[in-house]
Chains A and B, each alone.
Chain A
Amino acid sequence: MMARLRRIAPSAYIWLFLAAVYFVLPLLATFLFSLRSNQTGKCCTLHSYGWVIHNGDFWHTLKISFVLALETIVICLVLFVPTVYWVHLKVPRLRPVIAFIALVPFVVPPIVMVIGLLNVYRGTPAWFYDKPWGILCAVYVILAFPYMFFALDAGFRSIDVHTLTEASQSLGASWPTTLFKVILPNIRVAALAGSFLALAIVMGEFTIANLAQFHTFPIFLQYVNETQAYPAGAVTLMSFGITWAAMLSLLFVGRGRGARPTLIAGGR
């Protein structure tokens, strides 16, 4: 009986093979491409990887994007965790309204959004308008809103917010204590999922940064792509690796210390 249950149909292997080919083949091709010499065009050298690692712009733009991502994540968490908590606890009828608003960044094309936002923010102080930490971060928070909202929403749905809050309060806990000691640890995986989705957005966002004329990592990626064929392959694979490292760290941190992990819809 067990053997029959465990038996995998031959067609499943075919589909698995096709899926693997679909995902792995481009990566393999890019890797082989990146091993070619920039001078001779022949395989195999790590020169492109050396070029990337020793390129000051690579590290500079990577740092800008990571700091931007961190800033975006912090602002998103500070804004959305208490908001989603409050909505679930006190005004659940507003949840569909906020969910609808959260869809706006998906509906409005980036080009329209960036032009609109640049006009809205025109006239703001230079420290905000001229620096990526200001205006770009503000735009990224808007872009990350749906991902963060739906991840947190799924997290809050998976716990009994009312009972946990009331249990905590009946034991003498204040609102901040309840939020930080009781609620937040139980939606930790949801918050992490939202955070890494935000990280992925910031690390890959090109249109807005380009139109706002900030040099972020995707801008560097595009520049290399246009000017250096083989290093472009190397930098693409490296950015892919960085994203995967972020996702794996989510899995690692989210495992917790024995508590049942929160189920995340929309998490990766």
Chain B
Amino acid sequence: MAYLELKGLERDFGTVKALDGIEISLDQGEFLSLLGPSGCGKTTALRLVAGFDRPDKGSIVVDGKDVTHVSPSKRDMGMVFQAYSLFPNMTASQNVEFGLKIRGRHRGDRHKRVGELLELVGLAQAGDRYPHQLSGGMQQRVALARALAIEPRVLLLDEPLSALDAKVRLQLREEIRRIQLELGITTLYVTHDQEEALSISDHVAVMYSGRIEQMGSPAEMYSSPATPFVAEFIGTMNRLEATVLDGGTGAVEYGGVTLTVNAARDRARGSRVLVLVRPETVELVPANGDGDPNTLVGDVVTQTFLGPVTRLKVLGPGTDLIADVATAKAATLPVGTRVTATVPAEGARLLELSDEEPLPSIPEEPGPSGQ
């Protein structure tokens, strides 16, 4: 039986449907990230689990017990907030000790536990410091230690890294995962950063408009997006709107060029499809004038250096592609070079589009300063 279950959760704010039938099932010790753009309902879902809000419909079950109407102070959920939430009047140690005091733990036990947890988050020497004497990263570490001190049934993290700078964010997310694995604590993590979600989670649930679009392992989400939205949100994806020419061979027409896509086999002729191609699977070579199969021709219009790879944007008649190529190779394809882009027949994914279905657009996420 699952340890944490969210069953048909619905929540409306006036006319806005913040959550629309959320179903999540998580085993003990698993790490699930709720991923999505601003306003998709991920924080609302987390607040319902924490008990700070009540669902209009549905229930929340932890370890077989329905906690939907249990007050937050009695749920035993450890929570780390997006905003710095340490109590300013208490030192780091006193913050960590707070929940233990509430539970009436013996003084000696409390001090031992506080020491262990500060050690765990790498702040054994900072126990006597007040929050304003700690950096943002240190404050979030203390907040994590404080949430873990009460030995929560579920650990809830609401974009805990969004206010931190990139380097600290990277370091702390690895630490969160290490600690989570070490303690084997069931964790629900809210983020809008897909790289963050993919790198530390056992499962990722992509949310959009109050619904879960797709839930699966990070690898599944990346390689097999189930909807155009997920395809767009997880990683970078070329989206080629095409029409099936021959379901037998997998031939599709895109921009006046015939491409073979294995995933298009058995599709009805004339059906509208979205061919999804990861930039790293597109091969670029200088154009040689031959009309090779499965190729599109265009000019390199921009190059973006990303370290080991460089991202090239290729535009041509009916062609709009991005491709990630090894940086060394990118040097041989400067801006203005006419190139041939080979779309892999094997690796491309295919989603069927209804005639009226528009392609999803993803709202922009506010930066940390705007949170």
**A19 in the interface (beta carbon within 8 A):** no
> Which B-chain residue is minimally distant from A187 (CB atoms)?
B89
CA distance A159 to B86 in the complex (A): 11
Q: Is A57 an interface residue (CB 8 A)?
A: no
Q: Decide: A171 and B146 in contact? CB cutoff 8 A.
A: yes
1/0 contact trace for A149-191 toward B, CB 8 Å?
A: 0000000000110011011111111100100011001101000
From B87, B130, B147, give the contact of A170 (CB < 8 A).
B147
- Closest B residue to A259 by beta carbon equals B89
User: Is B87 in contact with A163, judged by CB distance below 8 angstroms?
Assistant: no
Give Cα distance in the complex from A244 to B89, angstroms: 27
Q: Is B322 an interface residue (CB 8 A)?
A: no
The answer to whether A182 touches B150 (Cβ under 8 A) is no
Q: Please, how many angstroms separate the alpha-carbon atoms of A196 and B254 in the complex?
A: 77
- Residues on the A chain within 8 Å of B85, using CB: 160, 163-164, 166-167
Given the known interface contacts A160-B83, A163-B83, A259-B89, the answer about A173 and B50 at a Cβ–Cβ threshold of 8 Å is no
Residues of B near A260 (CB, < 8 A) are 88, 130-132
B229 to chain A, nearest CB (A): 30
Is B78 in contact with chain A by the CB < 8 A criterion? yes
Nearest-neighbour CB distance to chain B for A168, whole angstroms, equals: 7
User: CA–CA, A256 to B132, complex, Å?
Assistant: 14
CA distance A79 to B133 in the complex (A): 34
A109 within 8 A of B: no
B106 at the interface (CB under 8 A from A): no
Shortest C-beta distance, B102 to chain A (Å), equals 4
Q: Mark B114-155, 1 if CB is under 8 A from A, else 0.
A: 000000000000000011100000000001001100100000
Q: Which residues of the other chain, B, contact A177 by a CB distance below 8 angstroms? A: 102
Which residue of chain A has the shortest Cβ distance to B76 in the bound complex?
A172
Q: Is the interface of A mostly helix, strand, loop or mixed?
A: helix
Whole-angstrom CA separation of A39 from B73 in the bound complex: 72
**B52: Cβ under 8 A from any A Cβ:** yes
Select the residue from B72, B84, B103 with max chain A CB neighbours within 10 A.
B72
Indicate if the CB atoms of B132 and A169 lie closer than 8 Å.
Answer: no
Using a Cβ–Cβ cut-off of 8 Å, how many residues does chain B contribute to the interface with A?
A: 34
B79 pairs with A166, CB closer than 8 A:
yes
Q: How far, in whole Å, are A259 and B94 apart by their CA atoms in the complex? A: 12
Cβ of A169 and Cβ of B72 under 8 Å apart?
yes
What CA separation (Å) do A177 and B74 show in the bound complex? Answer: 14
Contact B73 A163 (CB under 8 A): no
Q: How near does chain B come to A235, taking the closest CB pair, in angstroms?
A: 40
Interface membership of B99, Cβ < 8 A? yes
A173 and B102 contact, CB distance less than 8 A: yes
CB distance A170 to B89 under 8 Å? no
> Any chain B CB within 8 A of the CB of A125?
no
Q: How far is the CB of B311 from chain A (nearest CB, A)?
A: 38
Structural contact, B87 and A186, CB atoms closer than 8 A: yes
- A186 B102 Cβ-Cβ under 8 A: no
Q: Does any Cβ of B come within 8 Å of A26's Cβ?
A: no
Known: A163-B81, A170-B79, A174-B73. A259 touches B98 (CB 8 A): no
- When the two chains form their complex, are residues B103 and A172 in contact, meaning their CB atoms are under 8 A apart? yes
Q: Is the CB of B50 within 8 A of A170?
A: yes
Q: Which chain A residues lie closer than 8 Å to B84 at the CB level?
A: 160, 163
Is A258 part of the binding interface, using a Cβ–Cβ cutoff of 8 Å?
Answer: yes
The interface residues of chain A lying within 8 Å CB-to-CB of B87 are: 164, 167-168, 182, 185-186
Contact status B88-A259, CB under 8 Å: yes
Q: Chain A residues with Cβ under 8 A from B273's Cβ?
A: none
Cβ-defined partner of A172 (8 Å) among B74, B83, B130:
B74
CA distance A170 to B85 in the complex (A): 12
* CB <8 Å contact, B88 and A172: no
Which residues of the partner chain B approach A171 to less than 8 Å between Cβ atoms?
A: 73, 78, 98-99, 102, 146-147, 150
- Give the one of B81, B89, B131 with max A CB within 10 A: B89
Most buried by B among A172, A173, A174, A258: A172
A182 — which chain B residues lie within 8 A by C-beta?
A: 87, 89
**Inside 8 A of A163's CB, which chain B residues have their CB?**
81, 83-85
* Distance between Cα atoms of A9 and B130 in the complex (Å): 39
Instruction: Give the docked Cα–Cα distance between A163 and B150 (Å).
Output: 18
Which residues in window 190-225 of A have CB below 8 A to B? none
Check B350 for interface membership: any CB of A closer than 8 A.
Answer: no
Min C-beta distance of B110 to chain A, whole Å: 13
Q: Which residues in B have their C-beta under 8 angstroms from that of A174? A: 73
- The smallest beta-carbon distance between B118 and chain A, in angstroms, is 16
Return A70 CB to nearest CB of chain B, in Å: 25
Least CB separation from A262: chain B residue: B88
Smallest CB-CB separation from B78: which chain A residue? A170
Q: Using Cβ atoms and an 8 Å threshold, which residues of chain A touch B86?
A: 167
Q: Which chain B residue lies CB-closest to A173? A: B102
Minimal beta-carbon separation of B297 from chain A (angstroms): 55
Which residues on A sit within 8 Å (CB–CB) of B156?
Answer: 170
Closest 8 CB pairs of A and B: A171-B99, A185-B89, A167-B85, A170-B79, A260-B132, A172-B102, A169-B72, A163-B85
Listed in ascending order, the chain A residues whose CB lies under 8 Å from chain B are 159-160, 163-164, 166-174, 177, 181-182, 185-186, 188, 256, 258-260
Query: Can you name 14 A-B residue pairings with CB atoms under 8 Å?
Result: A163-B81, A163-B85, A166-B72, A167-B143, A170-B77, A171-B150, A172-B99, A172-B150, A173-B73, A173-B98, A182-B87, A188-B89, A259-B88, A260-B130
